[in-house]
Amino acid sequence: MIARPIVIGLALIIAVTLQTALFPLLPTGWFRPDLLLLLVVAVALEDGPLPGMRIGFAAGLVTDLLVTLSPAGVATLVMTVIGTVIGTIRPYLAPSSLTAPLFIAFASGLLGTATYGTLALLLGDDRVTGTMLVQSSVAVALYNAVLAPVVIGPVGRLLRKFPRQTATAVD
Amino acid sequence: MYQRRRVRMGLTALVLTALVLVTIDVRAGDDGVLSQARGWVTAAFRPVQDGVGVIARPIGGAFRNVQEMFTLRVENQRLRETNADLRERRRTLTDLERENRELRRLLNMQERGSFETVTARAVALAPSSFEWTITIDAGSVDGVERNMPVVNGDGLVGRVVQVMPRSSRVLLAIDPSFFAAARTARTAEVGSIEGRGGDPMVMRPLDPNADITQGDEIVTSAYQGGVFPAGVPIGIVADVGDPAARLAREVTVRPFVDFTRLHHVLVVLSAPVETVPPLVGTPGLEFEPPPVPRFIEPDDLDHDVDDPNGAPADPNGAPADPDGDDDDGAVGTTGNGAGVNPSNASRPTT
């Protein structure tokens, strides 16, 4: 019962660490994949809207607290909504589809980054320009689509090893 | 039905919470509760990030080595040419150093002492695609304070924007919100330089017709006040921009620092240079402009640098550099800006 939140929490910490300490070392240019967003996608696809919403809120909050200049709360808002939406559309996806997770990883990376940048811009973060917004959104979307098979699949299998006791009854 | 209602209620609650966070952060500014929370989160993650960084750095190095194999030949040829050029310049260096000392004595300027610095390791980058900051493993217990300059062996890295006891966050010079006073080392044309969210930076010279050519070195300037000591190398001019754009000429500057490979940095602990207060409107101050010729022929402008009666070439008050190089001091070793602090150099006496 308690093991599942612990596993998800550990996955979140690992994702944050890799995102901030490992990815900057890789030659991916100025843009990096958004591993936290991929984790949100993976949990939402596996567990549905409510867990997707929770992990989205947690991942967004951590992202907000690890940036300095953008307003806190923006990533929280974006990832919470993304987790909920993906969890909601989950029943309409074929469970064995290989392309659906890739498409969702791409679309969430594109829309998530674009929405985050736009909201930051609207809240007075004048560092964000239109060019940067487009470049980073496309880059994050592509990176996330490439990384999706090695994140979404393993996270799903890991979560299935720790099934929720009341999952079907509640969510 | 019950599940949908629960999702709707949960989503509403969490979205409202996020909006409250945005409101608190925007209203509270840098000293609010969320700023403290950011410090705690950074401090909590730093040891893990540090460990992962140590383990993963060789992996990242291997990736880069493979990537760089393709550019090594061109790079080698370029380095040979640079080496030949440096050998040539080295021959004249001794004479120029002597001349520099003499000129400084002539101007009765104080030789600059050494920077007091603390070495730190870059531990992590921000997770956002719109922010260029790093976390370093030095904090307030090491004497680090907010707005202190951060440099490395190549030049200017950025400035400290958040300080925790054992870690700090540094705004990199390529971040779009980064701003510094700068000048060209060759002609001392002053302006401002700012990041653009990637490799090239943009310098906006005060004079749109400034004499700036491709390959000119850009260094920091303490002319307009600010946190950076003068003479810290920033980068090299890659594109001189359009001099016809009289209001906003943009010079593209390629930074010396490779921001994708930041490992060790130096935080300059010397007190930030205080901004010179505006003189206009200050009671009791009478400013007498120095005597200048009423008319200056355009042809004479080229000789102003050597004219002992004219204004100094360097707006910081430093002497004109005969070799065209900047000798304001090497990064991390010399220069506290005492000789070029505008508060010392340009404040008139009553």
pLDDT of residue B334: 34
Both tokens of B239, joined, read 């594109």
Residues of A in contact with B63 (CB under 8 A): 25-27
Q: What is the pLDDT of residue A128?
A: 80
If you search the block for the tokens 């640079």, which residue do you land on? Answer: B82
User: Scanning every residue of chain A, which has its alpha carbon at the shortest distance from the alpha carbon of B26?
Assistant: A71
Q: How far off is chain A from B38, nearest CA to CA, in Å?
A: 5
DSSP state of B299: G
State the smallest CA–CA distance between residue B4 and chain A in angstroms. Answer: 9
Angle at B257 between CA B253 and CA B261, to 5 degrees: 135
- A125 pLDDT band, cuts 50/70/90, is confident
What pLDDT, on the 0 to 100 scale, is given for residue A18? Answer: 86
Residue in chain B closest to A169 (alpha carbons) equals B3
Looking at residue A133, its pLDDT comes to 87
Neighbours of B308 (CB within 10 A): 6
Question: Does the beta-carbon distance from B197 to A125 stay under 8 Å?
Answer: no
Rounded to the nearest angstrom, the minimum Cα separation between A99 and chain B is 26
The reported pLDDT for the residue numbered B346 is 37
Note whether ipTM > 0.90 here.
Answer: no
Please tell me if residue A144 touches chain B, with a CB cutoff of 8 Å. Answer: no
| Span A130-137, average pLDDT | 87
Tokens of A39: 């984790």
What is the least distance, in Å, from the CA of B173 to any CA of chain A?
13
Q: CB–CB of A69 and B171 under 8 A?
A: yes
Phi, psi (5° rounding) for residue A48?
105, -175
* pTM exceeds 0.80: no
Q: Enumerate the H helices of chain B as residue ranges.
A: 2-28, 33-68, 72-106, 342-345
Are the beta carbons of B38 and A66 separated by less than 8 Å? yes
Identify which has the larger pLDDT, A116 or A171: A116
Contact state of B128 with A63 under an 8 Å Cβ cutoff: yes
Measured between beta carbons, which residues in chain B are less than 8 angstroms from residue A31? 129
Candidates B120, B106, B123, B184; CA nearest to B149 is: B120
Check CB contact under 8 Å for A66 and B3.
no
- pLDDT at position A85 is 94
Residue B147 is predicted with a pLDDT of 86
Where would I find the beta strands (DSSP E) of chain B?
117-125, 133-136, 149-152, 155-163, 168-172, 179-184, 190-194, 201-205, 217-220, 233-239, 251-255, 264-268
* Chain B residue at shortest CA distance from A51: B7
Cβ contact B129–A13 (<8 Å) = no
pLDDT, mean of each 10-residue run, chain B (350 residues): 81 90 80 80 81 75 72 82 80 70 58 68 79 88 89 86 88 88 85 83 84 86 71 86 72 87 82 49 54 55 48 42 40 34 35
Residue of A57, A68, A143 best to disrupt the B interface, most CBs of B under 10 A: A68
User: Which residue in A20, A124, A136 is closest to B125 by CB distance?
Assistant: A20
CA of B10 to nearest chain A CA: how many angstroms apart? 8
Of B175 and A69, the structure prediction assigns the larger pLDDT to B175
CA distances from B276 to B22, B226, B227, B347 (A): 35, 9, 12, 8
Q: Does A123 touch chain B (CB under 8 A)?
A: yes
Which residues from chain A sit within 8 angstroms of residue B58, using beta carbons? none
CB contact under 8 A, B7 and A34: no
| Preferred mutation among B5, B57, B130, B161 to probe A, highest tally of A CBs within 10 A | B130
Residue A77 has pLDDT above 50, yes or no: yes
pLDDT of residue B116: 79
Of B21, B162, B260, the CB nearest to A68: B162
Which of A16, A68, A88 has its CB closest to that of B131? A68
Report the C-alpha gap between A76 and A55 in whole angstroms: 10
Helix axes A74-89, B2-28, angle to 10 degrees: 160
Least CB-CB distance to A63: which of B127, B162, B197?
Answer: B127
For residues B227 and B273, is the Cβ–Cβ distance under 8 A? yes
Closest residue by Cα to residue A157 from A50, A56, A43: A43
